[in-house]
Structure 1
């Protein structure tokens, strides 16, 4: 394969990789927010368990986080305001990585509360901090990729002319 063919293959793959990254982050945020929104008190307990924020701020974050996750997730899945939603999603994942690392470094034994629940772990149950950090870091990379390459395929941004810069792939085809 020549360098030109390789470059063409990469240019063709980028919008598909972006679409997959956008959907992985979006669906994960929708699921996480959806599992928490029905039990806002548990979400507040989960945020407070990190011991990072004053109680009043932790309460506001606990109530607001599920809504924010769902809104950002939906925007990513439908591809509307994709770059903005991806920035917010990436920042959320960075905050989650930081929070989990904080809990681990401070010897807290908590459930991250990422998909509902949260708070102190029962006796005999061990935290899964390394896996949680790895998962959220991977999601953060999906968000960063989406910020860099924007909408991808099947995005409302493209249909509404909001996609911004496009890349020429072949005569007449852009993304």
Structure 2
């Protein structure tokens, strides 16, 4: 059951990053406007951040989709989400009227058109998915599982399938029917 929950968390977070990154990559000009609207970066860093952000999101999404280096990716995702929540919170605290640009768009909006509490809650929910994967990266249908990463290895495990937690030498014995 926990592996199923982890799989749903992994695939859900993958979808978030893939959708967000694809939308930003499709409209780099709008992504630039969104990053600039936060008014926290020096002018010379706005373009590199606006260029890198969708690429980082897509890489995180693909790694999560395939379940490769899940714990590491969850850590990076959690840090990125913390930065995004901090950016939204500082914009709210400073009285800026911006759309976060988390899923495209972004930039200045009319006073009263902000959705800071909803954006922070949404991103906090995504962060909880990352925390789950950080604590328990084991999921179904993952490259990590196929490689045996993130699993406790014991000598008495008799499972030899992909993602088995049996030691590699033990897997060979099992595959040959010597167990």
Mapping of 1:115-126 within 5 angstroms?
115-121=103-109, 123=110, 126=113
Residues of 2 paired with 1:22 and 1:97: CA distance?
20
Root mean square deviation, CA, Å: 1.8
Residues of 1 paired with 2:128 and 2:111: CA distance?
33
Mapping of 1:21-170 within 5 angstroms?
21-121=9-109, 123=110, 126-161=113-148, 163-166=149-152
Deviation at 1:57, TM superposition (A): 1.3
Q: Deviations over 1:75-123 (max 9, x none)?
A: 00110111111111111111111111111000000010001111101x3
Q: Which has the higher contact order (CA 8 A, sep 6+)?
A: 1
Larger Rg: 2
Residues of 2 paired with 1:166 and 1:154: CA distance?
17
Structure 1: tracts of 5 or more residues without a match: 1-12
- What stretches of structure 1 move > 2 A for 4+ residues in a row? 164-168, 171-175
Residues of 1 paired with 2:150 and 2:66: CA distance?
16
Structure 2: tracts of 5 or more residues without a match: 166-179
Given the two structures, how large is their TM-score scaled by the length of structure 2? 0.82
1:17 counterpart = 2:5: yes
Deviation at 1:166, TM superposition (A): 3.1
Quote the residue 1:6 is aligned against.
Answer: none
